[in-house]
Amino acid sequence: MPIKSFEDLFIEELSDIYSAEKQLTKALPKVAKAASNEDLKKAVSDHLEETENQVKRIEKIVKEENLTLKRKKCAAMEGLISEADEAISSIEQGPLLDVALIMGAQKVEHYEISAYGSLIELAKLLGYDAAVDLLDETLGEEKGADSKLNDIAVSGVNEDAQEMRASL
Ligand code: FE
Ligand code: ZN
Ligand code: FE
Ligand code: FE
């Protein structure tokens, strides 16, 4: 179906991020398992719980605004997940893989931050007030996850990486 209105565009983009979140609920357990650093493992597991909630939050938006989602697969998230899979299968577990996992996870969070930021602006334009609040809750969680990953990289994983380099 062609996209001819801002309503159509909102549905298209909401359907896209819905697919992205659902793909993540399947991919994040693998990432948590592949991580060695305990803080990283915990951050990914915690964000998995949030992600499951984010899926439900989108379903709530659909219900409250009386919308119908399209069946579509987010190709961007499929690509980002496939790159993370590549890292997991080609790098031995340890600080090096942890750094690669953080890089991949931050790419995912930045994608989501962009998507939700734009969806909020579209929802405001369309007067979808309930959606604005719900999307904003999720945006806050995505920003929190991104900054948590930053903290873990700075405080722990980069240090593990220094030690690993020094021991080579
Ligand atoms: Fe998310
Ligand atoms: Zn997408
Ligand atoms: Fe996309
Ligand atoms: Fe996220």
- Ligand 2 centroid to residue 16 C-alpha, Å: 5
Residue 78 in this model has a pLDDT that exceeds 80: yes
Rounded to an integer, the average pLDDT of 146-153 is 96
pLDDT for the residue 162: 80
- Ion ligand 4, residue ranges at CB < 5 A: 112, 142, 145
Residue 84 C-alpha to ligand 4 middle, in angstroms?
14
Ligand 1 centroid from CA 162, angstroms: 31
> What would the pLDDT profile of 79-113 be if each residue is shown by its tens digit?
999 999 999 999 999 999 999 999 999 999 999 99
Q: How would you write 78-106 as a 3-class SS string? A: HHHHHHHHHHHHHCCCCHHHHHHHHHHHH
**For position 167, what pLDDT does the model report?**
79
Quick one: average pLDDT of 129-143?
Answer: 98
Task: Give the tens place of pLDDT for each residue, 22-52.
Answer: 999 999 999 999 999 999 999 999 999 999 9
- Does the pLDDT value for residue 158 go beyond 90? no
Domain range list for the chain = 6-162
Distance 166 CA to ligand 1 centre (A): 36
CATH superfamily of 6-162: Ferritin, core subunit, four-helix bundle (1.20.1260.10)
Ligand 1 centre and the CA of 138: distance in Å? Answer: 7
Residues bordering ligand 2, an ion, CB closer than 5 Å: 16, 20, 74, 76
The per-residue pLDDT for 143 is 98
Provide mean pLDDT across the span 117-144.
98
Distance 146 CA to ligand 4 centre (A): 8
